[in-house]
Amino acid sequence: MRICSFLPSATEIIADLGLIDSLVGVSGECRWPPEVVGKPVVTAARIDAASMSSLEIDDAVRASVHNGYSLYAVDAELVAELAPDLIVTQDLCSVCAVSSGELATACPVDVDVLSLDPGTLTDVADSIRVLAHRLGAAARGRDLAAAMLTEIGRTAALVRDERRQRVFFAEWIEPPFCAGHWLPEMIELAGGEDVLGRPGEPSSPTTWADVMASAPELVIIGPCGFGAEEAAARAEQLDLPCPAVAVDGDAYYSRPGPRLAAGVRQLAHLLHPELVPDPGLPAIPLVMGPSATLEPGLHTDGR
């Protein structure tokens, strides 16, 4: 089967299923595993996020949604040339990837389309199984989903009876977006309490004043689409009266795939370092206000 993946999480799942050679085209955001880099890019963002501030990116996204145009360009000619049997995309978030509804006009190619739209960790496991079944690898899909859930369960068992620290996870910085979909669930399983998150629902904007009014004990900066170093750089102007740490939101928190299990493990380490070993993922402590004393678990950098 020839597959075009417009969705980074689907690309990761396909690779984990051992079907990376079936990928004939990927999106510009598909960078994991490294073997997918260099494959034909069939869709890419219309904005250059690297040259824009967090607020400018948010303004561009809002304008796109308001005016009804896509944030992504699809190379329809290249897709036709690659002749895929299946295109994998999503309808969960207009900001994250090309939606299935946009394909009819952006890419008028007669090809099957599979949309993956998980909202919870259980949904993520289900989407792995659905994609694997579609690709003729149902048994491997069941094993991959089970391994993810088992790893999460093992982490949760380590901290189940511990005091829950109050956490704000910033899925965006300016304006701050509270955690949504599977992220509040990840925080709870890791032994924390998400102060503003909305489990199973889209992430939503708030203000830093409201964040501080919710009295978090830890702020985690993990903006969608950015690694830990970029997140730390974009958050350097924040002045918060509590500990804060930047993590790789792009790899371990925003993408609904098997690596969410590693994100739960990192969260549990940040919250309960005496119980959960450091998984070695990037985590950069941020220097905040004078009252923000870093806990031992925040002195880690998995680079």
Q: Give the pLDDT confidence score for residue 298 in this predicted structure.
A: 45
Q: For the segment 111-126, what is each residue's pLDDT rounded down to a tens digit?
A: 899 999 999 999 999 9
Q: Give the pLDDT confidence score for residue 109 in this predicted structure.
A: 66
Is pLDDT at 217 greater than 80 in this prediction? yes
Is pLDDT at 26 greater than 80 in this prediction? yes
Close Cβ partners of 135 (under 8 Å, ≥ 6 residues apart): 1, 3, 14, 17, 19, 22, 86, 141
Instruction: Give the Cα separation of 114 and 100 in Å (integer).
Output: 8
Q: For the segment 131-174, what is each residue's pLDDT rounded down to a tens digit?
A: 999 999 999 999 999 999 999 999 999 999 999 999 999 999 99
Place 103 in a pLDDT band, splitting at 50, 70 and 90.
Answer: low
Across 60-64, 80-84, 87-91, the highest mean pLDDT is recorded for: 80-84
Is pLDDT at 100 greater than 70 in this prediction? no
Query: What is the average per-residue pLDDT within 271-284?
Result: 97
Query: What is the average per-residue pLDDT within 253-258?
Result: 96
Q: Give the pLDDT confidence score for residue 289 in this predicted structure.
A: 54
Model pTM? 0.88
Could you tell me which CATH number the domain at 144-298 has?
A: 3.40.50.1980
- Residue 247 near residue 222 (C-beta atoms within 8 A): yes
Provide, rounded to the nearest whole percent, the portion of the chain with pLDDT above 90. Answer: 73
Task: Quote the crossing angle between the two packed helices 121-134 and 8-16, to the nearest 10°.
Answer: 60
Instruction: Give the Cα separation of 10 and 42 in Å (integer).
Output: 15
Query: What is the average per-residue pLDDT within 284-303?
Result: 53
In 3D space, the residue among 212, 221, 227, 216 whose CA is nearest the CA of residue 287 turns out to be: 221
For 255, phi then psi, to 5°, come to -90, 120
Q: For the segment 187-213, what is each residue's pLDDT rounded down to a tens digit?
A: 999 999 999 999 999 999 999 999 999
**What class has domain 3-117?**
alpha beta
Q: Give the pLDDT confidence score for residue 185 in this predicted structure.
A: 98
Which of 130-148 are b and which e, b meaning 16 or more Cβ less than 10 Å from the residue's Cβ?
bbbebbebeebbebbbeeb
Place 97 in a pLDDT band, splitting at 50, 70 and 90.
Answer: low
Close Cβ partners of 109 (under 8 Å, ≥ 6 residues apart): 76, 79, 80, 87
- Sorted by where each begins, the domain ranges of the chain are 3-117, 144-298
For 194, phi then psi, to 5°, come to -75, 120
Place 74 in a pLDDT band, splitting at 50, 70 and 90.
Answer: confident
Q: Name the average pLDDT for the chain.
A: 88
DSSP class of residue 173 equals E
- Strands 72-74, 41-45: pairing is antiparallel
DSSP H stretches of helix in the chain:
8-16, 54-67, 76-82, 100-106, 121-134, 138-159, 183-189, 208-213, 228-234, 249-252, 260-271
Which residue carries 């993408």 as its tokens? 255
Provide, rounded to the nearest whole percent, the portion of the chain with pLDDT above 70. Answer: 83
